[in-house]
């Protein structure tokens, strides 16, 4: 796998910048969970972030109360099927690798295994939109926004294999706080009709030699929001779509938890022209 990233001046410290994620809810400045200034941008966080977080909890100056870590970011995760990306993110939270927690899971398919996994771990679940067959069973757009902002107090929204359009009302309520994972290198092979195996069928049919996951911020259309991170895998001319899907999915499960960690630790800033930059914890 080859990682592609932009490399502005690594000396810039993120500690003096405000991330968009979570700054709406916090008053004043707080020590970031890792307690360290970020160093250099990346499109994926290296495993060393975990050790730097351990090393970075400073002992308070004599006579002062111990520093309290900031509250964990609360995530709303949207799924439609197996939820393998949700499980990868949840596992990263469980081992303390990411300073966040899943507050609620939302699905258009209440019987999908992603919902079953959430319920087996005591995570509340919501249905949006209502399944066609039973319109009484799901939330309206307004009810969804109220549930996430008031009842569950979600800081960040994560789309993980979710197959329905996120409504304008939610996109506006969570400006620069909703991300999605797409199994191809956007802007290619994205948009309405490009989901699941259909994406990989199109990539193989095109003769492209590379593919890989894209993590992007969500706007009001499918797959057109600003790109946060990508990873690249080879596409072989002999590949069947299922083989490519498995190769890409393996990279999804590495890249998404790293991006979610950066969002939870306020290590994402925005370039003047609206391009997001993910900074590596050192
Ligand atoms: N407002 C946004 N909502 C969603 C986005 C987004 O970028 N902005 N991303 C999608 C995820 N996605 C690709 O990453 C995607 C999902 C589904 C479709 C699609 O064509 N869906 C079909 C219905 C499929 C079904 O019901 O089984 C359709 O709309 O006709 C395209 C891209 C999640 N939401
Ligand atoms: N356009 C959206 C899309 O195709 N998403 C894709 O659905 C697959 C299943 O996700 P999951 O195993 O996390 O449910 C994943 O490959 C994800 O990238």
Residue 161 Cβ inside 6 Å of ligand 2? The answer reads yes
Against a cut of 0.90, is the pTM above it?
no
Closest Cα to atom 4 of ligand 2: 195
Would you place residue 32 in the very low, low, confident or very high pLDDT band (cuts 50, 70, 90)? Answer: very low
- Separation between Cα atoms, residue 65 and residue 148, nearest integer Å: 34
Q: Determine the pLDDT at residue 38.
A: 55
Residues 6+ apart with CB under 8 A from 277: 6, 8, 41, 268, 269, 270, 271
Q: Determine the pLDDT at residue 22.
A: 44
Distance 195 CA to ligand 1 centre (A): 7
Indicate whether 26 belongs to any domain: no
Indicate whether 268 belongs to any domain: yes
Quote the strand ranges of 7-79, DSSP E: 38-41, 73-79
> Looking at the predicted structure, is the pLDDT value of residue 164 above 90?
yes
Q: Determine the pLDDT at residue 133.
A: 72
Q: Determine the pLDDT at residue 101.
A: 96
> Looking at the predicted structure, is the pLDDT value of residue 68 above 50?
yes
Q: pLDDT for 88-105, tens place per residue?
A: 999 999 988 688 999 999
Beta strand pairing call for 100-107 and 125-127: parallel
Looking at the 3D structure of the chain, how many domains does it have? 1
Closest Cα to atom 17 of ligand 1: 163
Look at the chain and count its residues.
Answer: 282
Average confidence (pLDDT) over 128-148:
89
> Looking at the predicted structure, is the pLDDT value of residue 211 above 80?
yes
Residue 189 Cβ inside 6 Å of ligand 1? The answer reads no
Q: Which two tokens stand for residue 29?
A: 């400045």
Distance, CA of 45 to chain centre: 13
Residue 161 Cβ inside 6 Å of ligand 1? The answer reads no
Closest Cα to atom 34 of ligand 1: 165
Indicate whether 38 belongs to any domain: no
Would you place residue 57 in the very low, low, confident or very high pLDDT band (cuts 50, 70, 90)? Answer: low
> Looking at the predicted structure, is the pLDDT value of residue 273 above 70?
yes
Q: Determine the pLDDT at residue 69.
A: 80
Average confidence (pLDDT) over 135-144:
90
Active site residues: 182
Indicate whether 120 belongs to any domain: yes
Average confidence (pLDDT) over 119-132:
95
Counting atoms of ligand 2 from 1, which one is nearest the CA of 83? 14
Q: Are the beta carbons of 174 and 157 closer than 8 angstroms?
A: yes
Q: The domain spanning residue 88 has which CATH number?
A: 3.40.50.170
Closest Cα to atom 5 of ligand 2: 161
> Looking at the predicted structure, is the pLDDT value of residue 3 above 70?
no
Indicate whether 147 belongs to any domain: yes
Indicate whether 64 belongs to any domain: no
Average the pLDDT over each of 1-10, 108-117, 136-145 and give the range with the smallest value: 1-10
Indicate whether 14 belongs to any domain: no
In the sheet that 268-270 helps form, which strands lie side by side, from edge to edge?
Answer: 38-41, 276-281, 268-270
Domain limits for position 262: 69-278
Average confidence (pLDDT) over 217-232:
98
Indicate whether 46 belongs to any domain: no
Residue 207 Cβ inside 6 Å of ligand 1? The answer reads no
Mean pLDDT (the chain, rounded): 85
> Looking at the predicted structure, is the pLDDT value of residue 72 above 70?
yes
What percentage of the chain carries pLDDT values higher than 90? 69
> Looking at the predicted structure, is the pLDDT value of residue 111 above 80?
yes
Average confidence (pLDDT) over 27-48:
46
- Strand, coil or helix: what is 15? helix
């Amino acid at each position: 796998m080859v990682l592609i990233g932009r490399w502005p001046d690594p000396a810039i410290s993120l500690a003096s910048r405000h991330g968009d994620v979570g700054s709406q809810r916090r008053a004043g400045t707080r020590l970031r969970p890792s307690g360290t200034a970020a160093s250099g941008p990346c499109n994926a966080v290296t495993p060393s972030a975990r050790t730097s977080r351990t090393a970075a909890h400073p002992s308070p100056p004599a006579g002062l109360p111990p520093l309290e870590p900031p509250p964990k970011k609360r995530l709303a995760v949207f799924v439609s099927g197996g939820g393998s990306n949700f499980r990868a993110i949840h596992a990263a939270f469980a081992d303390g690798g990411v300073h966040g927690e899943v507050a609620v899971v939302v699905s258009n398919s209440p019987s999908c295994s992603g919902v079953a996994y959430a319920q087996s771990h005591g995570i509340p679940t919501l249905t949006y939109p209502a399944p066609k067959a039973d319109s009484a069973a799901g939330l309206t757009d307004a009810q969804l926004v109220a549930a996430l902002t008031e009842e569950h107090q979600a800081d960040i929204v994560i789309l993980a294999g979710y197959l329905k359009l996120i409504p304008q009302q939610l996109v506006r309520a969570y400006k620069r706080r909703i991300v999605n994972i797409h199994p191809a290198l956007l802007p290619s092979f994205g948009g309405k009709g490009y989901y699941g195996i259909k994406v990989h069928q199109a990539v193989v049919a095109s003769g492209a030699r590379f593919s890989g996951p894209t993590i992007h911020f969500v706007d009001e259309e499918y797959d057109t929001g600003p790109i946060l991170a990508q990873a690249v895998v080879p596409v072989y001319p002999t590949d069947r779509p299922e083989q490519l899907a498995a190769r890409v999915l393996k990279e999804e499960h590495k890249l998404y938890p790293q991006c979610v960690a950066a969002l939870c630790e306020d290590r994402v800033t925005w370039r003047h022209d609206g391009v997001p930059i993910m900074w590596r914890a050192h």
